[in-house]
Amino acid sequence: GDSVTQMEGPVTLSEEAFLTINCTYTATGYPSLFWYVQYPGEGLQLLLKATKADDKGSNKGFEATYRKETTSFHLEKGSVQVSDSAVYFCALTSGSARQLTFGSGTQLTVLP
């Protein structure tokens, strides 16, 4: 079945540091890929998406590129802020898109 593997956290960075959170996937067919973010005390919300190979999703300074050859969708940000502290989830949907499959989440803490 479909699966998503994320780098384990927690990740702690200083403000303005570069961020990479790795995500790889296994899926049949051609999945759509997503990053969701969960701020403290809130539900998840969509951060960015990519629906086909070589697409780059971007939002709020975050980027991720759909790499079919490496089955990866790594999340990057050039300069993190304290307000980026949250849990980040990689996810995919494929086939009939009846449901999302989530990774285990990566806790990010950004220190001032």
Partner 1 sequence: DADVTQTPRNRITKTGKRIMLECSQTKGHDRMYWYRQDPGLGLRLIYYSFDVKDINKGEISDGYSVSRQAQAKFSLSLESAIPNQTALYFCATSDLGRESTPGELFFGEGSRLTVL
* Minimum CB distance to partner 1, residue 81 (Å): 23
Q: Distance between CA atoms of 94 and 103, rounded to whole angstroms?
A: 15
User: In angstroms, what is the minimal distance from the CB of 92 to partner 1?
Assistant: 8
Q: Tell me which residues touch partner 1 (CB under 8 A).
A: 32, 34, 36, 41-46, 49, 51, 89, 91, 93, 97-100, 102-105
Sign for the pseudo-dihedral over CA of 105, 84, 13, 74 = positive
Report, in Å, the least distance between residue 32 CB and partner 1.
Answer: 5
Residue closer to partner 1, measured from CB, 46 or 82: 46
Q: How far is CA 92 from CA 9, 13, 18, 97, 108, in A?
A: 20, 27, 25, 9, 21
Q: Cα(85)–Cα(74) distance, rounded to whole angstroms? A: 17
